[in-house]
Amino acid sequence: IEAAFPATAQSETTVRHVAHRDRIVITRESITPDTRSIRQRTLQSALDAASMFTDPRVSVESVDEAGIEIGYRIAFEKSMNAGVEGFQLKVEEALVSLAGPHESGRNWTTDWYPERGYLVMRLVTAMPSRVDHPLAVVDENLRHLPYATGAADRIMYWDVSTSSNKPHCLIVGPTGGGKTSVIRTLLTEAARRGVPFVGVDPKMIELDGLDGYPGCGAIVYDALRAAMFVRALHTEMMARNAYIHQMKIEGSQLPLMIAV
């Protein structure tokens, strides 16, 4: 059989024994070449092996001028999970890891259309390592304090208005992660908008140099004075609450102050 039907890359030979007819059937069929890229095959095989979607199908959504794939459409059976943000983030993280770094240096992102039963993986320009502080006031709402530039040049801001449901802000991260830069950006933006600030800095690092800055009420470094200062802030808060109830006014009518 091997001599009569030598194996080739374009065809596949199968041998079947038909016992009741005392016959051997030899069949040669052409192999349809798999023209999918390694990245597309990797995404498809990973989705087939996982249980995230039912009947996932990966197709090329778009290519660039050189014919390099820059977008994929992943179709799936509609489900409740597809509309959950936590599920979407988990899937996006896995897909980006499987797709790997792109030749162009751009980053993968995903657009979800759960009501239509598919998502699109596409490339976006890599985030710059540094963005200069804008000189102009970037938002007409003076209670929006910008602190970063996100994807697609979107300005991220902290809403300190009394109508906001996020009047408090917690900044966490490792050493060198940029916490001090975010704090200083928020405070200088607050000062530009006429919102005064006060601070407690026992490390004498984060708020160093802001004492005497326009809009800065005080920066306290000593531990004992810091405790007294926090107490004074609590007294101020209680006095404001009492004043609001007594005068029957809205909190937005009182001047803002940021404590760090």
The per-residue pLDDT for range 28-62, each reduced to its tens digit, is 887 778 889 999 999 999 999 988 898 999 999 99
Distance CA 98, CA 11 (A): 31
- CATH 3.90.1150 location in the chain: 38-124
| pLDDT category of residue 131 using cuts at 50, 70 and 90 | confident
Percent with pLDDT over 90 in the chain = 51
Check whether 3 has a pLDDT greater than 70.
Answer: no
Q: What is the pLDDT of residue 198?
A: 94
Q: What is the pLDDT of residue 154?
A: 76
Q: What is the pLDDT of residue 148?
A: 85
Number of neighbouring beta carbons within 10 Å of residue 219: 21
Q: What is the pLDDT of residue 10?
A: 72
Check whether 127 has a pLDDT greater than 80.
Answer: no
Query: First and final CA of the chain: distance in angstroms?
Result: 83
Q: What is the pLDDT of residues 77-117, one digit of tens each?
A: 999 889 998 899 999 999 999 999 998 888 899 999 999 99
What number is the average pLDDT over the span 233-240?
A: 94
Q: What is the pLDDT of residue 9?
A: 63
CATH of 38-124, one of 3.40.390, 3.90.1150, 3.30.870, 3.40.50: 3.90.1150
DSSP 88-103: HHHHHHHHHHHH---T
Check whether 226 has a pLDDT greater than 70.
Answer: yes
| pLDDT category of residue 4 using cuts at 50, 70 and 90 | low
What phi and psi values does residue 19 have, to the nearest 5 degrees? Answer: -65, -40
Lowest pLDDT segment from 11-15, 143-147, 217-221, 238-242: 11-15
pTM of the shown model: 0.56
